[in-house]
Amino acid sequence: MPTYRRVDIGFSKQLIGDEVKHKPKGKLLGNLESLWFGVEVFNLLQVSNVASYNWVTDISNARKYAIPNYLTSRQLNIRVNAKF
């Protein structure tokens, strides 16, 4: 089986909380203790990693073939974390 290679990267920004200078006003945002926004990219380099193989038998000559099962390709994840 080939080696597993993957690069992930992520960034987060606190929009509301102790570290933020400007406090929000209003009914919805004023009640929040903290609010974070994050963006992550999984498998940044788009590497086709093999998780396992399915072995398929050819009925004409009984030969077996390995068909790879690939893991997920590049994925974008957006996250919002709110604490009331």
Closest alpha carbon to 10 in 46, 42, 49, 36: 42
Of the listed ranges 7-11, 39-43, 60-64, the least confidently predicted one is 60-64
For residue 12, which phi and psi values (nearest 5 degrees)? -130, 150
Q: Which residue has the higher pLDDT, 21 or 67?
A: 67
Predicted TM-score of the model (pTM) = 0.70
Average pLDDT for the chain? 90
d(CA 19, CA 6) in angstroms, rounded, equals 33
Instruction: Indicate the pairing of strand 75-83 with strand 64-70.
Output: unpaired
